[in-house]
Amino acid sequence: MRKKILVKENGLINFFKSFFNAKSQGKESQWLQRLRKADSGLADIWSDFDDKVSKNMFQQKASLEKLGLDSSHIDKIIKQYGLKNI
């Protein structure tokens, strides 16, 4: 039987912070491995979330550039979190 994880609102915020901190340090794979040990299903969901965030940021960047608008803020986020164009 899978281990249940109960999350309160504050715990969820801390969960997101810990992921993005690990991501900014280039350690998201270790973070996901620890999560996978606790709950493999949640780790799969979180990995999918990570891919979707990356894809979305690059789509926003392309849309801004297509419109001739400044994308420097998104560029900073992409660099800070090491997002990869999927």
What is the per-residue pLDDT across 6-64, written as a single tens digit (0 to 9) for each? 656 667 788 888 888 888 888 888 999 999 998 899 889 888 988 898 999 999 999 99
Q: Is residue 2 part of a domain?
A: no
pLDDT at 4 over 80: no
- Which H helix or E strand runs over 5? none
Domain that holds residue 71: 9-81
Confidence label for 1 from pLDDT (cuts 50, 70 and 90):
very low
pTM of the model: 0.70
Q: Is residue 4 part of a domain?
A: no
Q: Say how far residue 13 (Cα) sits from the centre of its chain.
A: 13
Q: Is residue 41 part of a domain?
A: yes
Looking at the 3D structure of the chain, how many domains does it have?
1
Confidence label for 2 from pLDDT (cuts 50, 70 and 90):
low
**More confident position, 10 or 67:** 67
Give the alpha-carbon dihedral of 24, 16, 77, 85, to 10 degrees.
Answer: 80
Q: Is residue 64 part of a domain?
A: yes
Q: Is residue 67 part of a domain?
A: yes
Q: Is residue 34 part of a domain?
A: yes
